[in-house]
Amino acid sequence: MAPQAKLLLIDDDSTLIKALEIYLTRAEYEVHCASNGAEGLRSLYELRPDLVVLDVMMPQLDGWETCRRIREMSTVPIIMLTAKGQETDRVKGLRIGADDYVPKPFSLKELEARIDAVLRRARQGRPDTVNKTLYVADDLVVDSQRWEARLCGERLDLTSTELRLLVYLTENAGRILSHQQILHEIWGPEYEDNLDYTKLFIWRLRRKIEPDPSNPKYILTERGIGYRMVSATEA
């Protein structure tokens, strides 16, 4: 039997937290709870969870700042709970490091499905294939056999989604990939209309691999279509 995934729920709404704890425990997750951002950060350090569910609206240390601080120390997947589900909140969450977001109000079944999807992507990790990709362009090296990327010899601190996206781009270097192709491959068919994901995760990758993110040399935008990773000979 596979070990239970360990979840950390960070939310100051005690009623919601209790309902989520009961529901997700019955769904065979190991569930831990924190009532504010500061407590959540301490629990993250102590528990090393497989996934964090993080509410945006909390007193003292809100979800935005908590997410930023988590990203300073961990690549753990994060699902943010946004009160309004407005586009600005969604964009902000993905921009600062969240892997997914769920707007309130939501059904418990919907949140469970999102948790399952994010954990599945995180666990896919290194592909079990005989075809290994080694992409070398200037100071950037992407090695799918070792499941890592390095820039100027230093290992890049990438989330599981960021690394899977980078490997997918390098596997298809020189080819134009549409938003829908990328979304289908990295997030799944149910995400094919969510262009925010490709735009913001490409933005996040560029900040980590490009000498000048505003003038990228590795990941190029193909306007109206998607993106293209330059071939090693082009870089």
Structure-token match 């230093």, residue found: 154
Contact 30, 4 (CB under 8 A): yes
Domain 134-229 falls in which CATH fold? Arc Repressor Mutant, subunit A (1.10.10)
pLDDT of residue 190: 84
- The CATH code of the domain at 6-124 is 3.40.50.2300
What angle separates helix 63-73 from helix 87-95, to the nearest 10 degrees?
20
pLDDT of residue 85: 61
pLDDT of residue 130: 47
Pick the closest to residue 209 from 220, 224, 198 (CA basis): 220
Q: What percent of the chain stands above pLDDT 90?
A: 71
Q: Per DSSP, which regions of 162-210 are E strands?
A: 176-178
Residue type at 60 in one-letter notation = Q
Per-10-residue mean pLDDT of the chain, 235 residues long, equals: 83 94 96 95 95 91 94 93 76 91 91 93 63 80 89 92 93 94 91 90 96 95 95 76
Distance separating alpha carbons of residues 132 and 150, to the nearest angstrom: 16
Instruction: Say if residue 105 is exposed, middle or buried (CB neighbours under 10 Å; 0-12, 13-18, 19+).
Output: exposed
pLDDT of residue 1: 44
> If DSSP codes are grouped into helix, strand and coil, which group holds residue 128?
coil
pLDDT of residue 84: 65
Buried b (16+ CB within 10 A) or exposed e, 29-55: bebbbbebbeebbebbeeeebbbbbbb
Q: Provide CATH 3.40.50.2300 ranges for the chain.
A: 6-124
Q: Which helix (H) or strand (E) holds 151?
A: strand 148-151
Contact 224, 234 (CB under 8 A): no
Q: Provide CATH 1.10.10.10 ranges for the chain.
A: 134-229
